[in-house]
Structure 1
Amino acid sequence: MLDTTGTLQHVDLDNFTTEAGISLPVRIAYQAWGTYRADNVVLVEHALTGDSDAATWWEGLIGPGLALDTDRYCVVCTNALGGCKGSTGPSSERPNGFWGSQFPALSIRDLVHAEAQALSALGIEQLHAVVGGSMGGARALEWAALYPQRVHAAAVIAVSARASAWQIGIQSAQIAAIEQDPAWRGGDYYRYAAPIEGLKTARRIAHLTYRGELEIDERFGTDAQPGENPLGPYRNPNQRFAVQSYLDYQGNKLCERFDAGSYVILTEALNRHDIGRDRGGLNKALASIEVPIFVVGIDTDILYPYHQQEHISRNVGNLLGMAKVSSPVGHDAFLTETRQMDRILRRFLTLAADLPAEN
């Protein structure tokens, strides 16, 4: 039975099989807010290092009277399979220890299939809307392709229809940073110290793609970190520019809340993202999607440039609408530009409400 109190809950699936044919028991964590009806569920999909607590990481957008109005909708958010916030992932225990290196590789489709099975176990078969940004946007797009009979409309935010070579390259560098940390131990480090230096480096690389170049330069420029001197006669890693200190802070903060094994698994899933795989190619797959799609891009996004959302909008079979977030922040603007996202999500849900009951 669905719990809508906002507390962390779990659904156990005795036998889930990945696309590649690996079967395992999995647990999917979720949180939900509002009063459930069969026709009012809005599924929110988190980004790479997000979790099921969407009311926190999308603060200002979920709650009574807000864009995702919990007086009107039942908002549900799961923690992705492979994650580390309640769902089964590499850090999860099993009878003979931790999953670690024995945890299977996942695709975005695997994440969606596991989530769909968990929702079915909760009695949720119809979704009024699926909304997600970044990795969550990839999941929202796959929901529309995999389960058109269950999805009324989808908002796909700040993502591409497939991983580009640049995205695979930058994300593979992050994976390499973790795997080259001696503490990684081939992924079987859970009884030992975690590979935090590798995870910090991965986060530094990633964070530069999450923020806009203009924002970073305007905030830090070539300033030294207060009390430090990066212009001394010899290079000293303890004497930093302000931007270095900022990236160090971001790396340390992630290590406090996220698992390196989950970071590798979910980043690899993003590398495998391709809506056209086994569907006749990219544009054919997009054209075949019957679910109404609302596309959102960010004008300064380095990681998923706006032209990639334009490509989705030009080729998707049923375009509901398109919106652009204007912000110096870059990719993370879908998380930080609350006022713009409020307006965009309200527009999306208004358009979705006007759709006929059956797509």
Structure 2
Amino acid sequence: MSSSSPKRTRVVADLAERDLLASIFPIVEQGPTALVGPGDDAALVAAPDGRTVISIDTLVEDHDFRLSRANGFTTTGYDVGWKSAAQNLSDINAMGAVATSLVVSLTLSPQTPVAWVEDCAHGLVSAVDHLGATRCSVVGGDLGGGAQLVVTAAVTGTLDGREPVLRSGARPGHVVAVAGTLGRAAAGLAILEDGRPVGDFGGLGEELIAAQLRPLPPLAAGPAAAEAGASAMLDISDGLVRDAGRIASASGAHLDLDPEALMSHAEPLRPVAHLLGVDPMDWVLGGGEDHGLLATFPQDVQLPPGFTAVGSVLPGRPQVTLASQATALRGWDHFAH
């Protein structure tokens, strides 16, 4: 009788850098704006507008994501790749621009499974495709070693002749509006952090976890808002109130949010909120990572498809209020947790 030992998982330490790159390159395809893609010292990307919009974001293991949790839930490389792409594409969207390229830097521990790295690459590419960033592709990046996983992506974009929508244009009388979802990603994170089996929260729980791990920023909404005449705009990544405060500060304006208008986002979350003993409006006001858009529009502008009014810009000092009442500054701060 003979016995065979279980197949050993291939890890990063088993490969030379060129071999690891060789496993990634076939996953990414060169997009329409990439003149030179992966394989050289740098990529060459067309800038049809003559100007380039650029942003960068980092995901750090055990700070921005956890690979495993007490309830047995596992975050995959695909999830991390998707989220990295989505949050970067959303930043370009918030300027009223369209993404044209992504470069990605991976810091990997030696024991990282090669399959995880390949899965991460698949997640990046799938997010770009699924979210409709048809002019964007992964054009290069970097590999490095470290004690924990770090995924950093930088994205470029084009304005196609439009002016960028900044945070500084909100004025009294303007309408405050949002596109995309609010609170769903925060609810998903609360479920993951709770420790109970995910199945205890039913199908809605699975949907909300998906919103946290694989957000769906409304990429068509940014250029549409710019075309419609949005006066200020940003990506809601750190919470509605905190990010509204950034527009208020940059514009020197008072943003007043309407709780009744926000209730449509809170009510669908109520069954899960009840199980967790929280108010769903806290997720709507304080939860980020849905990567929707917060924008202001002159009162005579018809809101573009996907946007709904949730407040107004009032005269007065820079602040954010809820039905004209002071509200605690909620949201994510990288250095306060």
Which TM bucket (shorter chain)?
A: under 0.3
* TM-score normalised by the chain length of structure 2: 0.24
Query: Is the strand fraction higher in 1 or 2?
Result: 2
* TM-score normalised by the chain length of structure 1: 0.23
| Larger RCO: 1 or 2 (CA < 8 Å, sep 6+) | 2
